[in-house]
Amino acid sequence: MVVIIMEKVPVGLRGELTRWLIEPHTGVFVGHVSGMVRDLLWDKCCQGVREGGVIQIWSTNTEQRFAMRTYGTTQRQLLDFEGLQLMRVPYCAEERAEMQKRLGARRRAEELQEPERLRPIAWRGDAGAAV
């Protein structure tokens, strides 16, 4: 089993891959080919990519039962963590600032609502009222 994910690549390269693999979604190719064909398709992808990137995932005999490789500029980064391959989604500085801003606003809103949630149900705000 082979999965190839392409980001921002020429349409001709995508069309070429449809000869060997099925494209269930734009830029995502799935199929079952031999190891030699898989490597030849990888070489073709690496040669045809201009500004975008390619991720290839295939089944193999490892603990994870698959392996991955990337080429070019992709939205994900491939990490090797003690033999396990992981994908990392990097944040740019602007996205991080926006996320912190949203998180800060959410926390302030929760802090304002928190005293209401902690009040006893019978509490009415009257200091002399019987509970």
Residues 6 and 60 in one domain: yes
Total structural domains within the chain: 2
Task: Report the relative pairing of strands 53-59 and 2-7 from DSSP bridges.
Answer: antiparallel
Pair 62, 12 in one domain: yes
Residues 72 and 16 in one domain: yes
Q: Which has the closest alpha carbon to 68: 35, 36, 41, 79?
A: 79
Give per-residue pLDDT as tens, 98-127: 777 777 766 666 655 555 555 555 555 555
Q: For residue 35, which amino acid is it? A: G
Whether residues 16 and 41 fall in one domain? yes
pLDDT tens-place string over residues 32-69: 999 999 999 999 999 999 889 999 999 999 899 999 99
Quick one: 110 and 81 in the same domain?
A: no
Domain that holds residue 26: 2-88
Is the model's pTM score more than 0.75?
no
Token pair in block for residue 90:
């990097």
